[in-house]
Amino acid sequence: MDLLYSRCAGLDVHKDSVVACARVVSERDVRKDVETFGTTTEALLKLSDWLTEHGCTHVAMEATGVYWKPVWHVLGDGGFELILANAAHVKNVPGRKTDVNDATWLAELLAHGLIRPSFVPDTATEEMRTLLRTRKQLVREKASHTQRLQKTLEDANIKLDSVISDVLGLSGRAMIEALIGGETDPAVLAGLARRLKAPDNKLQAALRGRVTRHHRFLLRLHLNQIDALDAAMAEIDAEVEAHLAPFRTAIRLLTSIPGISNLGAQVIVSEIGTDMDRFPTAGHLLSWAGLCPRNDESAGKRRSTRLRKGAPWLKTLLVQCAWAASRKKDSYFQAQFHRLRSRRGAKKAICAVAASILTAAYHMLKDGTVYQDLGHDHFDKRSKDAQTKRLVSRLAKLGYDVEIKPATAAA
């Protein structure tokens, strides 16, 4: 095996310790020195000095939770070429699982160039990513509290969500606050409605329940939590907007894609960055995101076409954008979705649309171009003969004999 780096190191990172193996190749032999360090800043600086003493130029570590990040930040100031490895890609030989062996194994793989580096964003992108991921977690928490609030209303036999689409909308919020305040008259509660489609008698029937002090306490508790989460999301939005300058051009380009909102474009940029040179092709980006089928073939037969595991934060967003894009009338994405759904089902069709959106985003960010829709008739134009054969076949099934003649040009 070819030797790529003669002086390198592997790090096995834990919460409170880092096991380091420095691999130094000389003319006579290969020397491996193993040392254990703490994870405090002072201990990590000692680790940096120890690696410098051994003349290490490249350092590899596994992506273990968030514990690798402080190590990465401290060693990043030491002039080392850092490589982050996916733990699933560098598994050790079964039966030899110790911390020392893990560090030695990483150093061995790194020396021969057998570690595929993971994507680590720059500082600005990482900060944007952290903010937007936190925002998504807060949205999920708000949804959970909303469901608990609805559960409390159901327990009090208040069927508000049966007549109102948005329980926390203007009308729903006014009614809930009135219930918390002690109002129980259905007519008074129904009078707080603003432009609801539900008839007044049905609304009053839904608001007739048995609300106790315990219910009011829980409703107030969940409503306060929802308000606090809304305030926190507003703070995050302000912080994101204040540091959006390096990404505005990329976001403007991505919002031209059907189905991608301003927030969706921000999340995509925070997850993949703006520099597409780190991905050799659009296929590499799709593979990293987990939007392409896994390699599972044996004896010439494809055993599975399930999607690869990839970037969960990005994949879920792209699927949401794909559903929105599939409802865009007379668009390429809508045509692609309906074309594939008839043959492969809705789930695989929507994942294909998500992959197409990410492919378009890759080329747009790489070339700096605005999205240009191929049109709803793209597939018909691309495969005219196949389309003709399909339509003739459908007419034949209906009992018609069809003779195809090319149209004559108008004189």
pLDDT in tens, the chain (411 residues): 678 889 999 999 999 999 999 999 988 888 999 999 999 999 999 999 999 999 999 999 988 888 999 999 999 888 899 999 887 777 765 555 565 688 888 998 899 888 888 888 888 999 999 999 999 999 999 999 999 999 999 999 999 888 888 889 888 899 999 999 998 888 898 888 888 888 888 888 989 989 999 999 999 999 999 999 999 999 999 999 999 999 999 999 999 999 999 999 999 999 999 999 889 999 989 988 888 776 655 556 665 666 767 788 999 999 999 999 999 998 999 999 998 898 888 998 999 999 999 999 999 999 999 999 888 888 777 777 777 888 888 888 888 888 887 776 554
**Which single residue is written with the structure tokens 């219910």?**
215
**How many alpha carbons fall within 13 Å on the CB side of residue 107?**
28
CA distances to 15, 131, 138, 168, 228 from 234, rounded to whole Å, are 33, 12, 11, 17, 10
Distance CA(231)–CA(242), nearest Å, equals 17
Q: Which parts of 248-372 are beta strand (E)?
A: 297-298, 301-302
The pLDDT value given to residue 411 = 43
Amino acid at 335: A
Q: What is the DSSP letter of 299?
A: T
The pLDDT value given to residue 365 = 94
| Partners of 293 in the β-ladder | 307
The pLDDT value given to residue 292 = 79
Backbone φ and ψ for 390, nearest 5 degrees, come out as: -65, -45
| Partners of 30 in the β-ladder | 25
Collapsing DSSP states into helix, strand and coil, what is residue 31? strand
User: Does residue 287 contact residue 296 with C-beta atoms inside 8 Å?
Assistant: no
Contacts 24+ apart (CB under 8 A), 118-124: 118/63, 118/84, 118/85, 118/86, 119/272, 119/273, 119/278, 119/288, 120/72, 120/82, 120/84, 121/270, 121/273, 122/273, 124/243, 124/246
Q: What is the DSSP letter of 273?
A: -
The 10 Å Cβ neighbour count of residue 232 is: 15
User: Does residue 103 contact residue 137 with C-beta atoms inside 8 Å?
Assistant: no
**Which single residue is written with the structure tokens 């208040």?**
158
Reported pTM: 0.81
CA 303, distance to chain mean position in Å, is 27
Distance CA(354)–CA(258), nearest Å, equals 11
Q: At 34, which helix (H) or strand (E)?
A: strand 30-38
* Strand 7-13 relative to strand 17-25, pairing: antiparallel
Task: Give helix 262-272 / helix 312-326 axis angle, nearest 10°.
Answer: 150
The pLDDT value given to residue 216 = 94
Q: At 24, which helix (H) or strand (E)?
A: strand 17-25
The pLDDT value given to residue 387 = 76
